[in-house]
Structure 1
């Protein structure tokens, strides 16, 4: 984080990234002194409600964040910033998105947690758009012109007012990660999941210890579950009430319950009862300390693809262990009528030998398995996500036999097919992986 004093004293000349959060009510004109270098501008956590008309003077500006401010309209001046590709205005009070506000090179738009009721039709002209974050608004529909955005890979639509999903969603050749929980179209299924009988674990049975981690939806603590004779190490997740980029914490709780039991999923033991502040929470199996995240989340530059450690490599055995476990977990979820929505390496925990757990249901969405046409389409979206994961694993795998490499390459190509229903099912993927793994063992 930088300061106004540093900016005014000329100490920040030549920087590419500027972050100011100091109660600003007006855009500091001194920022223009950085026009020759500034590419990323973060003015989140201030009291701004407008941007200057001459913002395009920042000719190299690629990324702007103005989250947690007082904007009621997405500033139209953004559309005149020729290099701008990422726009983040989360948690404002935005109602209007004028057509003129959308930059021609827009790649990533974040309008999470606002009051947007309608998007302009010209968003379909943003042909570079890959990531669209719209959770927590008041949308009842999406412009049909979005079907022209053939590079669109991730859409967050949770917690809006959608009665149905537009059919053109399933024509997007690269759509991979979709979240729509918390809309009328899935409200009944979510309510049913929350009513599933889970063992109740009284707060007084839990000896809560250190904080293990904090996500957008809640806090996870290490705890001991006390019984008459023993104590069992567990994890306790206490949900926050705030909107996340993926959707509502209560929907994540419903998804965690609905996921059920599978060897490659994090396991839920029960629901917290009688929390002193009435906080919703779940008690989960404690993940052993030898598990770690497979990769880091996407960066500003990678946009939709995870970031791996440069030195990260996998043996064929480890690669197959991870791939088969995650494909099996995804198949299980879809059998429950649930799409994970965020099947990414950064949501996968692994060990050195390739034991793998798929975690984080914040972007999960429900559907009726009896609707075979919808179920087939939604599951094939997730197949593309698996294809992206498989591509990343193969790029870092050493020692595959030529025949196995060819077989995996064919499977990868099938998973990434532009035609949604031409992609294999997860059942087929699991079978092909098992066959290829046996083939690799024979060739070794």
Structure 2
């Protein structure tokens, strides 16, 4: 983290990135002295409510983070920033988004956890828009102009006040990852499945080391009844970029049993701080993440280690397992919403587990154009994953197999949403090669 003293002393001259959290109530003018070099500016965790009118002097700025500040309006000056592609204003007090505030090259917009009830028509006039994060606002509708955003791949509209998913949204040719839980439009979680989930008193659990922490909660290794090793996930209360952690918990409990899902043992009760949590099977240490999270540069695409390679057998086993579990979830009326390599754990044999239900949403189990479209949007996510696996196969794939698999991948990603295959067909196709 950089300091204000360093900035004012000129010690940060030539910096391409500046991270400044110092309880700021006013924008430090010295930042503008970095105009010739600054590309990434992170002012999160301050108390700012405005930016200077000449902010556009930062002509090289591509990325701006202003999370957890006091903005009530997205600053109009941002629209004059010719190189700006990413805006992050999560957890402010924003009620108003002027059309003039949207830079022309906007690719990634994060307005999670604000007070926005309406978005400007100009949002649909940003042809490079690829990721749109709007969870935890007060939206009752989306601007129809977004139907023009043919590059839009990831959309988070959970925990708003939407009463329907517009038809045009479900026909966007590139839409791949969609989260809409916690809106009036969403089908309710299966109450019977929630009730059937066993309860586990907090007193029966002994927490051990922390295994990980994400936006929605913290995972610990634990002992259940002093004998059984398990994983315990304690959910946070605040809104994540995907939506409410409690919606994630409901999706985990209603997903049911499948070999490629992490088994839920029960729901925690009688926590001393009334914290919500789940007890789950403990994953063997031989499992690891398939990929890393998308970067600022890759935007909506996972980042794989440069030496990641698979045999054909392992890659096809991973693909078959994920297609099978996605088919299972769709039958339960659940879309995962975040079907990505970074949410898949795998081992050297190709055994795999799909995790992180933070973006999961419920839809009707009855066949309809809407449910079919929602499922085919997720098929595109699988197509992206299949393409990433095919790129990294180093042995064992015949020319004939590759042609068939590349054809399947292209059909999963074709722009006509309803013309994509469903997961039942995909599972059958992949079974030919396993």
TM-score w.r.t. the length of structure 1 is: 0.96
- Secondary structure of the 1:398 match is strand
Q: Deviations over 1:228-257 (max 9, x none)?
A: xxx110001111110000000110011011
> In the aligned structure 1, how far is the partner of 2:2 from the partner of 2:376?
45
> In the aligned structure 2, how far is the partner of 1:30 from the partner of 1:91?
26
Where do 4+ consecutive residues of structure 1 move more than 6 Å? none
Give the corresponding residue for 2:302. 306
Q: Are 2:282 and 1:286 equivalent residues in the alignment?
A: yes
**Displacement of 1:428:** 0.6
Q: Which moved more, 1:104-113 or 1:188-197?
A: 188-197
Q: Which moved more, 1:131-140 or 1:395-404?
A: 395-404
Q: Is residue 193–residue 255 contact of structure 1 (8 Å, CA) maintained in 2?
A: no
Q: Deviations over 1:261-312 (max 9, x none)?
A: 1000111010111111111111000011111100001000100000000011
> In the aligned structure 2, how far is the partner of 1:191 from the partner of 1:337?
9
Q: Are 2:189 and 1:190 equivalent residues in the alignment?
A: yes
Give the alignment of 1:121-200 within 5 angstroms.
121-186=121-186, 189-190=188-189, 192=191, 195-200=194-199
- Secondary structure of the 2:372 match is helix
Give the corresponding residue for 2:371. 375
> In the aligned structure 1, how far is the partner of 2:433 from the partner of 2:128?
36
Q: Is residue 194–residue 254 contact of structure 2 (8 Å, CA) maintained in 1?
A: no
Choose the corresponding residue for 1:389, options 385, 390, 400: 385
Give the alignment of 1:72-111 within 5 angstroms.
72-111=72-111
Q: Which moved more, 1:203-212 or 1:40-49?
A: 203-212
Q: Deviations over 1:185-207 (max 9, x none)?
A: 12x51373774321111111111
Give the corresponding residue for 1:418. 415
Say what the alpha-carbon RMSD is for the aligned residues: 1.1
> In the aligned structure 2, how far is the partner of 1:382 from the partner of 1:195?
24
Give the corresponding residue for 2:204. 205
Choose the corresponding residue for 2:268, options 267, 272, 277: 272
Mark the CA change 1:281 to 1:193 in structure 2 (over 3 Å): closer, same or farther: farther
- Secondary structure of the 1:167 match is coil
> In the aligned structure 1, how far is the partner of 2:57 from the partner of 2:369?
50
- Secondary structure of the 2:248 match is helix
Report the count of equivalent residues.
433
- Secondary structure of the 2:234 match is strand
Choose the corresponding residue for 2:315, options 302, 319, 336: 319
Give the corresponding residue for 2:351. 355
Give the corresponding residue for 1:442. none
Give the corresponding residue for 1:441. none
| Structure 1 unpaired stretches of 5+ | 438-444
**Displacement of 1:171:** 1.7
Mark the CA change 1:233 to 1:91 in structure 2 (over 3 Å): closer, same or farther: same
Choose the corresponding residue for 1:431, options 428, 431, 434: 428
Q: Is residue 407–residue 436 contact of structure 1 (8 Å, CA) maintained in 2?
A: no
**Displacement of 1:398:** 1.5
Give the corresponding residue for 1:59. 59
Q: Is residue 189–residue 366 contact of structure 1 (8 Å, CA) maintained in 2?
A: yes
Give the corresponding residue for 1:220. 219
Q: Is residue 137–residue 159 contact of structure 1 (8 Å, CA) maintained in 2?
A: yes
- Secondary structure of the 1:196 match is helix
Q: Is residue 119–residue 143 contact of structure 1 (8 Å, CA) maintained in 2?
A: yes
| Structure 2 unpaired stretches of 5+ | none
Q: Deviations over 1:311-368 (max 9, x none)?
A: 1111101101110000001000000000000000000000112110000000000001
> In the aligned structure 2, how far is the partner of 1:193 from the partner of 1:39?
51
- Secondary structure of the 1:184 match is coil
- Secondary structure of the 1:222 match is strand
- Secondary structure of the 2:13 match is coil
- Secondary structure of the 2:165 match is coil
> In the aligned structure 1, how far is the partner of 2:384 from the partner of 2:194?
35
Mark the CA change 1:54 to 1:287 in structure 2 (over 3 Å): closer, same or farther: same
Give the corresponding residue for 1:18. 18
Give the corresponding residue for 1:440. none
Give the corresponding residue for 2:38. 38
